[in-house]
Chains A and B, each alone.
Chain A
Amino acid sequence: MNAVLDQKLKPAAPRRKKRGSFVERTLKTLVSEAERALFAEELARKDGLLQRLDPRVKIVGLLALILTTTLARNFFTIIFIFAVAITLAILSRVPIRTLATRAWLSALTFTGTIALPVIFITPGNVIYHLPLLNWAITEQGITSALYLIMRVETTVTLSLLLVLCTLWTHVLKGLRVLRVPIVFVVILGMTYRYIFVMLDTARNMFEAGQSRLVGSLDGTESRRIAAASIGVLLTKSFYLNTEVYMAMQSRGFRGEVYTLDEFAMRQRDWLALGAFTLTAIIAFWLGRQDSLASWLNFP
């Protein structure tokens, strides 16, 4: 027993692989994902601009901005919406650090890597030749890479703001305004709930298994364990499903779902809705101005 504990406490035990086993890595993902969701709730309870708005206004408004971002045909517009997003973040007391770590950095690494070769392969006006390699960089290539990166950064920021500044239950209720069928909204709510139950199950399963798996595992063995863990979870899902269904029936559920929605649009909600609409219209109009495409002039 103590030997097992010792092993567990020594992270640099020589028998362990440096990159960590399947179990450890999955555990790490599970824990961090759960913590992220927890953190989101904290920000949603702060007193800021977006937090005070009716969730329906928030969802419609932020979605409109996301849509105009994807519609824009020039940079100026995308940067304009990005600036709006940052302003909203500041007014809603969302730390820029949070945005940077949770959205910007990962989007930049992912999309940046994808966008890099575009600079060289897009046909167009050559503006620079890389020394030695003689690769041609085109104006269109740079523009295209920037389009992709800026669009992704802006939309990611906007959708993150929605999640960070809205309680999950309000997101659910707000979704109904977008004519999402009520069955779907209820399913979504229950899914979220059971993700936590299953994360717990998975975590317990791995933590129990971890002490038995201190040695390094070969690939086949760890693959077998991975598949078996998923199998256990699947069996558990079936059990949960039957039980939950009975718990619902027992309380009068007969296939149709009824919910209690109580949102009242206040003056500031109407004002915000107006502001969102206006911004979206301006951005949409700006986005159609092809003359702005040459706004970024290359020497």
Chain B
Amino acid sequence: MSENIFDVQNITFGYDDLTALSDVSLIIKSNQRIAILGANGSGKSTFLRLLDGLYFPAKGTISAFGEPLTEDALQDDEFAFRFRRRVALVFQNPDVQLFNPTVFDEVAFAPLQLRWAKDEIKKRVGETLELMEIGHLKDRSPHRLSGGEKKRVALASVLILDPQVLLMDEPTAALDPKSRGQVVDFLISWSGTGKTVITATHDLDVIEDIADFCFVFQNGRVVGQGTPSEILADRKLLESTNLLHSHRHTHDGGDIHSHDHLHRFHEHEHE
């Protein structure tokens, strides 16, 4: 019923002399909605890239769909195509992901690399553009799009493959409230179709909507895990991992005070 999508065992990874992840182990099953929580530099983006076969661990192993995910394995066309088709990563910065001249080319890029038939590609691009409600942007250049539009094109560019697993890196960062809402809505509806979504974020406001289970990262280690409500209730954990911070601000009465800064808890009492 619920097979293991990713089986991560004791992985360690570093850039040059900087250790990004050390001794991380976890298992992600199909149909799960996972949030990887952590402040900037906690290693959560690196972790997503390891899951996507872009980086490879220095120590430890990662298995994807029961097969070892290694640099050597990805040299094989058949394995690479199978893996790339099933796992998709949406990068935090859409400028990085949108490198084609037009929106149409962007969405057609992945199936072209996977050598789909050209007619099939044309049909699927049209459908995907409609699904994401960006059909009217078809011939536009990515640099003329708004932040929210770019995000939708980036999503369309990976969804055309109909992946089983979607890795999202900070999907709500730098978006206006409306686009942010759209992204969250999308994630809710998409994961309802038997897919696995793994979202790296530090946006505590959305995790209850997009995740059933959370892992909390700090300095490259898993320091906590649990359901969103369990994690959100653990103030001590959130504060020690810099996901929750206190700051001072002024209220109407002119009194200055400090309190935990989390918008969903914002209706706090003033004494």
Contacts and interface: CB of A to CB of B under 8 A. Distances in A.
Nearest to B109: A251
A202 to B, nearest CB: 14
A180 interface: no
Contacts of A167: 139
B101 A258 contact: no
Interface in B42-57: 49, 52-54
Contacts of B122: 260
Contact of B113 (A172, A194, A252): A252
B101 A189 contact: yes
Interface string A183-209: 000000110111011001000000000
B11 interface: no
A168 B101 contact: yes
A254 B115 CA distance: 12
B118 A260 contact: yes
Nearest to B118: A260
B89 A244 contact: no
Interface in B86-119: 88-89, 91, 93, 95-102, 105, 108-110, 112-115, 118
B54 A249 contact: yes
A169 B88 contact: no
Given A244-B96, A246-B49, A251 B110 contact: yes
Contacts of A259: 105, 112
B141 interface: yes
A247 interface: yes
A252 B97 contact: no
A260 B96 contact: no
Contact of A193 (B88, B139, B143): B143
A253 B115 CA distance: 11
B89 A252 contact: no
B105 A258 contact: no
B105 A169 contact: yes
Given A193-B143, A249-B54, A254-B80, A260 B113 contact: no
Contacts of A169: 101-102, 105, 139
B142 interface: yes
B121 interface: yes
Contacts of B121: 260
A252 B101 contact: no
A4 interface: no
B84 interface: yes
B96 A243 contact: yes
Contacts of A258: 112-113, 115
A248 interface: yes
Nearest to A248: B99
Closest 8 CB pairs of A and B: A252-B113, A251-B110, A196-B143, A243-B96, A258-B112, A252-B84, A169-B101, A247-B97
Interface of B: 49, 52-54, 77, 80-81, 84-85, 88-89, 91, 93, 95-102, 105, 108-110, 112-115, 118, 121-122, 139, 141-143, 157-158, 161
Contacts of A260: 105, 108, 112, 118, 121-122
Contacts of A168: 101, 141
A193 B106 CA distance: 12
Nearest to A168: B101
Given A193-B101, A193-B142, A247-B96, A252 B114 contact: yes
A246 B54 contact: yes
A100 interface: no
Given A240-B96, A259-B112, A247 B91 contact: yes
Contacts of A244: 96, 99
A252 B139 CA distance: 23
Contact of B101 (A192, A240, A246, A247): A192
Nearest to A240: B96
Counting chain B CB atoms within 10 Å of each CB, the highest count among A192, A194, A196, A258 belongs to: A258
B113 A254 contact: yes
B101 A251 contact: no
B143 A197 contact: yes
Interface in A138-197: 167-169, 172, 189-190, 192-194, 196-197
Given A244-B99, A246-B49, A248-B109, 15 more contacts: A169-B101, A169-B139, A193-B142, A193-B143, A197-B143, A247-B91, A250-B88, A250-B89, A251-B110, A251-B113, A252-B85, A252-B113, A258-B113, A259-B105, A260-B118
A193 B112 contact: no
A243 B84 CA distance: 17
A193 B108 contact: no
Counting chain A CB atoms within 10 Å of each CB, the highest count among B53, B101, B109 belongs to: B101
Contacts of A253: 109, 113
B84 A250 contact: yes
11 contacts: A190-B100, A193-B99, A193-B101, A196-B143, A248-B99, A248-B109, A250-B88, A253-B113, A254-B113, A258-B112, A260-B112
